[in-house]
Amino acid sequence: MIMPSRKTIIFSAAGLMLLIVISLALWSSGSDQPAATSESHSDHTAKTVVAAGDIACDANEPASALACRQGDTARLIAALEPTAVLTLGDNQYPDGALASFQDSYAKSWGVFKDITFPVPGNHEYQTPDAAGYFDYFGSRAGERGKGYYAFSVGAWRFIALNSEIDLSENSAQLAWLKQELKTHPAACTLAYWHEPRFSTGGHPDDSRSDATWRVLYANNVDVVLNGHSHAYERFAPQNPDGQIDQTRGITEFVSGMGGRAPEALNDPSPLLATRQNHAFGVLVLTLHGSSARYEFVPIPGGQQTFSDSGVVACH
């Protein structure tokens, strides 16, 4: 039998003592907590989300400089390679019938269907119960007849609402919204639906979502996205009463230049940061763990020139 040498025994004892010292140091510094998982790391990796509403014309309407540019905005999205696509309602004109979705939307924005999270608009509901919309998007549109749901992208929680059904204070949808915000608190939260609470575009302010804004504000939601007005608008952070609030205010974007013809603008608001109704394009959000960079990206060529970019910090 070979006995260990005295040098080997001394080395082993020293190694054991070193291991004990390191372990005690880690314990005292709190390093017994689990290391960050790959999932938590991915929450802080930038992800790209694009959003626009008021998108696809009827297949029989020819594209022009002033209308039916859904093909151009779809090619723009393809170049951006987003993680998710948000459609902000009036995704298909004139009435959201299934045949119209199949003939027009499916051939443009439909190529992103697997990463699309839609909400319906008033034109979808010109088909009774928005049947064509729910038939086309299936489970991606949430529960049939409701159309509201929530999901996460990285550190951000997204809440899709349906402005074409009851959103009043005592509605089932608002009760669901309150429970969703309570059950899934997040570092950063974004809500979106079709008809905006505040707008200076072709459609004025809509008080039907006043109760919604109050719930979102009370729960520190950061961003609201809408369509309906065929324009691009960004408002200063504001409270539900339309007052600037740089501490807890919600930043609202209207991104309604997805392809359908632009609409005239109404009188500006003192809360309006910027707006335009000539450049088709999409809102691009680059999501981080505690903020989002926003940028309006127009389709290339011609007179489609407009820029707006910045950062929204999460509350």
What is the C-alpha to C-alpha distance for residues 235 and 252, in angstroms, rounded to an integer? 5
Rounded mean pLDDT for each run of 10 residues along the chain, 315 residues in total: 40 38 34 29 73 96 93 97 98 96 98 98 98 98 98 97 97 98 96 98 92 98 98 98 96 98 94 96 97 96 84 96
The pLDDT of residue 36 = 28
Check: CB of residue 225 under 8 Å from CB of residue 118.
Answer: no
Three-class SS of the chain: CCCCCHHHHHHHHHHHHHHHHHHHHHHHCCCCCCCCCHHHHHCCCCEEEEEECCCECCCCCCCECCECCHHHHHHHHHHHCCCEEEEECCCECCCCCHHHHHHCHHHCHHHHHHHEEEECCCCHHHCHHHHHHHHHHHHHHCCCCCCCEEEEECCEEEEECCCCCCCCCCCHHHHHHHHHHHHCCCCEEEEECCCCCCCCCCCCCCHHHHHHHHHHHHCCCCEEEECCCCCEEEECCECCCCCECCCCCEEEEEECCCCCCCCCCCCCCCCEEEEECCCCEEEEEEECCCEEEEEEEECCCCCCCCCEEEEEECC
How many of the other CB atoms lie within 10 Å of CB of 11? Answer: 12
Over residues 152-169, the pLDDT tens digits come to 999 999 999 999 999 999
Check: CB of residue 73 under 8 Å from CB of residue 282.
Answer: yes
Token code pair at residue 81: 């390679």
The pLDDT of residue 22 = 34
The pLDDT of residue 301 = 80
What is the C-alpha to C-alpha distance for residues 182 and 46, in angstroms, rounded to an integer? 26
What is the C-alpha to C-alpha distance for residues 113 and 141, in angstroms, rounded to an integer? 11
What is the C-alpha to C-alpha distance for residues 74 and 205, in angstroms, rounded to an integer? 29
What is the C-alpha to C-alpha distance for residues 23 and 229, in angstroms, rounded to an integer? 62
Instruction: Output the pTM of the full model.
Output: 0.85
The pLDDT of residue 303 = 65
What residue segments make up the domains of the chain, in order of their start? 47-313
The pLDDT of residue 45 = 81
Torsion of CA 152, 154, 155, 161, to 10 degrees: -30
Task: Fold for 47-313, please state it.
Answer: Purple Acid Phosphatase; chain A, domain 2 (3.60.21)
CA-to-CA separations, 215 to 167, 220, 241, 252, in angstroms, rounded: 11, 9, 13, 15
